[in-house]
Amino acid sequence: MSEAADLVRKYGEGQSQFDELVGFVKCQECFSTLMGEITEQLGNESDAAGRMASQFPEMFKTYARATGLYNDEGNGEEEGGDGGEG
């Protein structure tokens, strides 16, 4: 069992804290590995998946695009701005 798999198993059983999951993430690959284990063991609707997405929004966006969970094709950046002229 990989370190990520073991960590998620312990979290799911209440033997570790969310902070331990956060501490595992050192890079995009670590995040992707951990999210893969979270979704496999706990489901993508799990509290842990949502919290990880909130904790690492840019890494989650990259992970979601790579796994097909998210596709922003055809959508521009929709951050701020009123977009209209009066």
Looking at residue 68, its pLDDT comes to 87
Looking at residue 72, its pLDDT comes to 63
Q: Which residue has the higher pLDDT, 71 or 64?
A: 64
Looking at residue 78, its pLDDT comes to 40
Q: Which DSSP string corresponds to 14-81?
A: TSS-HHHHHHH-SSHHHHHHHHHHHHHHT-TTSHHHHHHHHHSHHHHHHHHHHHTS---TT-----SS
pTM beyond 0.85: no
Percent share of the chain, pLDDT over 90 = 72
Q: What is the pLDDT of residues 33-56, one digit of tens each?
A: 999 999 999 998 899 999 999 999
Mean pLDDT of 11-23: 96
